[in-house]
Structure 1
Amino acid sequence: MKKLVISLITLGVLFSCGKEKKETVVAKTEVKEEVKQELPPVDNAMMENAVIYEANIRQYSEEGSFKAFTKDIPVLKQLGVKVLWVMPIYPISTTKSKGPLGSYYAISDYTKVNPEFGTLEDFRDLVKTAHDNGIYVILDWVANHTGWDHVWLKEHPDYYTKDKEGNITHTVDTDWTDVADLNYDNQEMREQMRKDMMYWVKEEGVDGFRCDVAGMVPVDFWEKTVTELKKIKPVFMLAEGWEPELLNNAFDMGYGWDTHHKMNDIAQGKADAKEWDKRMAQIDSLYEEDDILMNFTSNHDENSWNGTVDERMGDAKELFAALSYVAPGMPLIYSGQEYDMDKRLLFFEKDTIIKKKGKFFPLYEKLGKLKNTNPALHGGKEAASYTRINTSDDKKVLAFAREKDGNKVVFVANMTKESVSFTSDYVGKFKDYFSGESMEATADQKYELNAWQYLILIQE
């Protein structure tokens, strides 16, 4: 067996982030036709090894349609995607709207589809195609507010929050002037909201919801609603929120916002690997063992408002993509990330993702396969263990092991923009996941890693 130090130096040349130019290839949507599979109901096993994909229908293609996106669903299967989160598909209000096309989150009717994207039949075909490819579909649900054209404003003004003068208002302390705030003291409104959600599960076969600003809606609404949804069929529920109480009874997964922010800080030199340790300890203290957090390097909010992955993470972007897969939780791919997208997508008007394969498509494909198949990366309600491996420089080097059912994966990374040398007392025989090369780690061995270099090691 070759010693690990030799392999590390070799791999530093081959895989160091941002050092190698790769040929850009126009993405092909054609894939081999496979036997359609019966999709089992949502269950805990699915949550252990799933990859989630956020679909921005408007910007995904030049057509910006359900049909154009549906053609590429088999491509998502290649990336190991098991959950498809579709951004709001509903008609958009024009009153007080922002930009030429308005925000997806200013909804005028919860039970119809936006004609900009196609027809209800087109959406049904999207769901069927996803299911045929073993992928669950969850809809983005906006329960905190509606657009100003929603029929409730005329027929049920009591459904909304009002100011001292009795005028319906947008959500206080926000700049969301294109939406009207809903009043959750109104029980009739709650029941109608619940029925509208049930429609999509019962009549259109969706498998759950990603719930916008979930923490701004009373927890007891979510708890009762999820209970009613599960009477129809098992569902997967994702909260856009970090609050632990959301995950007690209502939601399966929340956002790992603080994890994401820590990634940005480390990439920008504002934090070190020790700060990652503090974040892991914080998760342990705040959440129950069966709570799931979503890991991401981007999403629609981050991309449009806070910058691209390149802007925020620079040469560290590949490292943190890998870390989002191997750390506890479920990894997210946002539309375009698989095609090395390096632009802020417009939010209120038409834009287009250029689908050309570069570095990230094969990377996500490889990471997705590992996530799907190795129990050591389980991140659901029965997650694999996470154990920090000590090194001689724990500020610069992040090393940890994940283990379950006799399977072990080790992640080692240089969390800085400079090369680093270090030692570790960790021992074992491994295979490098990317190169396939076997290696052996011995006590007090000296290792070297280039800037932002990382390794994923499978214990043999």
Structure 2
Amino acid sequence: MKKLKLPHLLVLSALLMTAACTSPAKIQSDSGTQALQEAKVSEWPRGVSYEIFVQSFCDSDNNGIGDIKGMTSKLDYLNELGVEAVWLMPMSPSPSYHKYDVTDYYGVHPDYGTMEDFKEFVKEAHKRGINVVIDLVLNHSGVDHPWFKDAAKNPNSPYRDYYVWAHKDDPITKGEGKFTGDDSHNTKHWHSVEGSDYKYYGYFWGGMPDLNYDNPKMRQEAVNIGKFWLEEVGVDGFRLDAARHIFTDDRQEDNHKFWEEFRSEMQKVKPDVYLVGEVWADAKTVAPYTKGLPALFNFEMSWAILKALKEGEGDSLAIKHDKIIDFYSDVNPDFVDATILSNHDQNRIMSEVNGDMNKAKMAAALLLTLPGSPYIYYGEEIGMQGKKPDELIREPFIWDVKSKDDCRTTWVKPEYSTEQTVAPVAVQEENKNSLLNHYKTLINLRNHSKALTYGDLEPVNAANKAVSAFVRSKDGESLFVLHNVSGMPASVKVPRNLEGYKGVVFQTNGAELKKGQVMLPAYSTLILKK
């Protein structure tokens, strides 16, 4: 039986505001303007990625639902933004809008288009240097999947052992028994089948029964699915949904081993396959997963950044990030730290900061200057808002004013991201001080900086709780970064060992260096070089 152990940042310059990711980033210095790096130095998976909910992104056929052809038509927008990969939420056939209850692991939902449409998207993305990562939902299937439908009605089905079953009188289904570090006995995880004396295990809800990875045949099914998308379709990797829940919480070592085996199998067909895992936990819990899943989302830093913005205290951010990096490096020195501000399961960052544009820009500045390989949730770059339930954090992307927006989806009526609360892309592109152009500038700067893309992190004590200060260094390039995350001005004396940092690389809101003092107005950033 699977899983259960019984019984147990203003901007760089006006020129850079609209610069494409292929142009060199510039340094503003006392001697004028010079190139930071003439050529782009970031290389995915260390570059910036972009998460897309296909249903809300762009509708090409005016049926109200975003689709693959619409997404293909916006690849130039993503290229100009400077991202080097997209992560696509599930696209396989499913009865739900979110499509995490998969009914065919080898198909594309007809609302989104055809497999040929998707292959064309992958080809066009690759032409632009954009990698493609798809959501792979291996923890569970949908109840409408042919495997489960047959297993539920026939105890002798060849697919019966693809799922986890227990008799309705088994103590575990009644919330009885004790399992250290595990809540598999929680009655909410066990679900009845009409006319049967057995219940099935579904960690998230009854519509998504967990798959049984104690079954070698099921493990092989997972390998076959992954190889299909890599070999036949040409994707570059996978975001592994619910990676922590392949086995129950008391079997974390089995989880780690499973992902190591899965990675090994994927590398047989694509040696450089990219795997990024979803493990909602602190760094100590996440770290062991980095052997099998060399990229993992850094939820802990996303929580820390939000806390800093809400409290106006950023002095511990670099220290915390440095400790997290140490945890991961001890297990896998080559891990990829997938940093985020929010994603499709979290309230949007703009709503969390109550629509404060200064805080939203500061969030972007922190994300794109701290270590890691950042992910941007679609619409984050234009300030889309949203709070749970989930449909309302996945609202339609706003491309233009409604009379001109032939791409906007209508599958759900937005309550948070409307033209009254969010300036469309077309409007923001024309405003050099917009959030969108702020993102473009920071991404461009990062893409042309070895220090910001690959550099080590050295926290700096600025002797001011409002200021997050740190040094990023790589291959002779060293940058001193200071952020004032509060609504009050701050002054920081440059430490003696950093007095050589005098060239201004990036500044917002009038931040400046004056006679050894860094003057940081509210919500401002200053980046200095030697």
TM-score w.r.t. the length of structure 1 is 0.80
Residue in 2 that maps onto 1:209: 238
| Cα distance in 2 for residues equivalent to 1:446 and 1:348 | 47
| Cα distance in 2 for residues equivalent to 1:326 and 1:340 | 19
Residue in 2 that maps onto 1:255: 297
* Cα deviation digits, residues 410-438 of structure 1 (max 9, x gap): 21111222222332223122123258x99
Residue in 2 that maps onto 1:332: 375
| 1:177–1:308 Cα change, 3 Å | farther
Identity %: 28
Q: State the shift of 1:114 in Å.
A: 0.7
Q: State the shift of 1:389 in Å.
A: 2.3
Query: CA-atom RMSD, angstroms?
Result: 3.0
- How many equivalent pairs are there? 404
Greater Cα radius of gyration, structure 1 or 2: 2
* Cα deviation digits, residues 91-143 of structure 1 (max 9, x gap): 113xxxxxxx4432111111011111111111111111110110110110111
Residue in 1 that maps onto 2:437: 362
2:291 matches 1:220? no
| Cα distance in 1 for residues equivalent to 2:106 and 2:336 | 29
Residue in 2 that maps onto 1:292: 336
Within the candidate set 316, 323, 345, 1:282 is matched to: 323
Q: State the shift of 1:61 in Å.
A: 2.3
5+ unaligned residues in a row in structure 1: which ranges? 1-10, 16-26, 32-43, 94-100
2:323 alignment partner AA: Q
DSSP 3-state at the match of 2:397: coil
Q: In the alignment, is the contact (CA less than 8 A) between 2:308 and 2:314 conserved in 1? A: yes
Within the candidate set 120, 127, 130, 2:125 is matched to: 130
DSSP 3-state at the match of 1:152: helix
2:307 alignment partner AA: D
Residue in 2 that maps onto 1:169: 200
| Cα distance in 2 for residues equivalent to 1:247 and 1:319 | 29
Residue in 2 that maps onto 1:412: 482
| Cα distance in 2 for residues equivalent to 1:195 and 1:159 | 15
| Cα distance in 1 for residues equivalent to 2:232 and 2:371 | 34
| Cα distance in 2 for residues equivalent to 1:129 and 1:185 | 39
Greater CA drift, 285-294 or 65-74: 285-294
Q: State the shift of 1:392 in Å.
A: 3.1
DSSP 3-state at the match of 2:87: strand
1:363 alignment partner AA: H
| Cα distance in 2 for residues equivalent to 1:400 and 1:441 | 19
Residue in 1 that maps onto 2:491: 421
* Cα deviation digits, residues 348-390 of structure 1 (max 9, x gap): 5994211223322212211221222211112xxxx31111223
Q: In the alignment, is the contact (CA less than 8 A) between 1:112 and 1:120 conserved in 2? A: yes
| Cα distance in 2 for residues equivalent to 1:170 and 1:53 | 33
Q: Which segments of structure 1 move beyond 3 Å, counting only runs of 4 or more?
A: 306-315, 343-351, 437-442
| Cα distance in 2 for residues equivalent to 1:454 and 1:141 | 38
2:258 alignment partner AA: F
| Cα distance in 1 for residues equivalent to 2:229 and 2:477 | 39
Residue in 1 that maps onto 2:222: 193
| 1:126–1:346 Cα change, 3 Å | farther
1:162 alignment partner AA: W
Residue in 2 that maps onto 1:87: 89
Q: In the alignment, is the contact (CA less than 8 A) between 1:51 and 1:80 conserved in 2? A: yes
* Cα deviation digits, residues 49-106 of structure 1 (max 9, x gap): 410110110011244110111101111111111111111110113xxxxxxx443211
* Cα deviation digits, residues 225-280 of structure 1 (max 9, x gap): 211211112211111125111112x22210111100011111111x7324324412
DSSP 3-state at the match of 2:226: helix
